[in-house]
Amino acid sequence: MLLIVLGDGVVANVVLNKTKGQNAGWIVITAGWGFAVTVAVYAVASFSGAHLNPAVTIGLASIGKFAWAKVPVYIAAQLLGALLGAAIVWLAYLPHWPVTESPAAKLAVFCTAPAIRKTTANLLTEVIGTFVLVLGVLAILTPKNLNPAYGWDGGFGPFLVGILVWAIGLSLGGPTGYAINPARDLGPRLAHAVLPIAGKGNSDWGYAWIPVAGPILGGLIAAFLYKAVWPA
CA–CA distance, 105 with 192 (Å, rounded to integer) = 12
pLDDT at 72 over 60: yes
CA distance 1 to 98: 24
Decide if 102 contacts 20 (C-beta within 8 A): no
Please state whether 230 falls in left (phi above 0), alpha (psi between -120 and 50) or beta: beta
Does this model's pTM top 0.85? yes
Sequence-distant (≥ 6) Cβ neighbours of residue 91 within 8 angstroms: none
Percent of the chain with pLDDT over 70: 94
Rg of the chain over Cα atoms, rounded to whole angstroms, equals 17
Structure confidence at residue 152 (pLDDT)? 52
Q: What is the DSSP string of 167-181?
A: HHHHHH-TTT-----
Percent over 90 (pLDDT), the chain:
85
Closest CA to 189 of 123, 126, 106: 106
Cα–Cα distance, 122 to 115 (Å, whole number): 9
- Asked if 41 and 204 touch (Cβ cutoff 8 Å), the reply is no
* CA dist., res. 183 & res. 19, Å (int): 27
Answer yes or no: is pLDDT of 172 > 70.
Answer: yes
Task: Concatenate the DSSP letters of all residues of 18-56 into one string.
Answer: T-TTTT--HHHHHHHHHHHHHHHHHHHHHHHS----HHH
Per domain, the residue ranges of the chain are 2-229
CA of 13: how far to CAs of 33, 92, 108, 202, in Å? 12, 10, 11, 21
- Distance between CA atoms of residues 110 and 106, nearest Å: 7
The mean pLDDT of 53-65, rounded to a whole number, is 95
Is the separation of the CB atoms in 33 and 166 below 8 Å? yes
6, containing H or E segment: helix 2-15
Residues found in the chain: 232
pLDDT confidence of residue 155 = 72
Dump pLDDT digits (tens) for 114-163. Answer: 999 999 999 999 999 999 999 999 988 776 666 655 455 557 888 999 99
Estimate to the nearest angstrom the gap between the alpha carbon of 106 and the chain centroid: 18
For 2-229, CATH number out of 1.10.10.10, 1.20.1080.10, 2.60.40.1930, 2.30.30.50 equals 1.20.1080.10
pLDDT tens digits along 187-211:
999 999 999 999 999 999 999 999 9
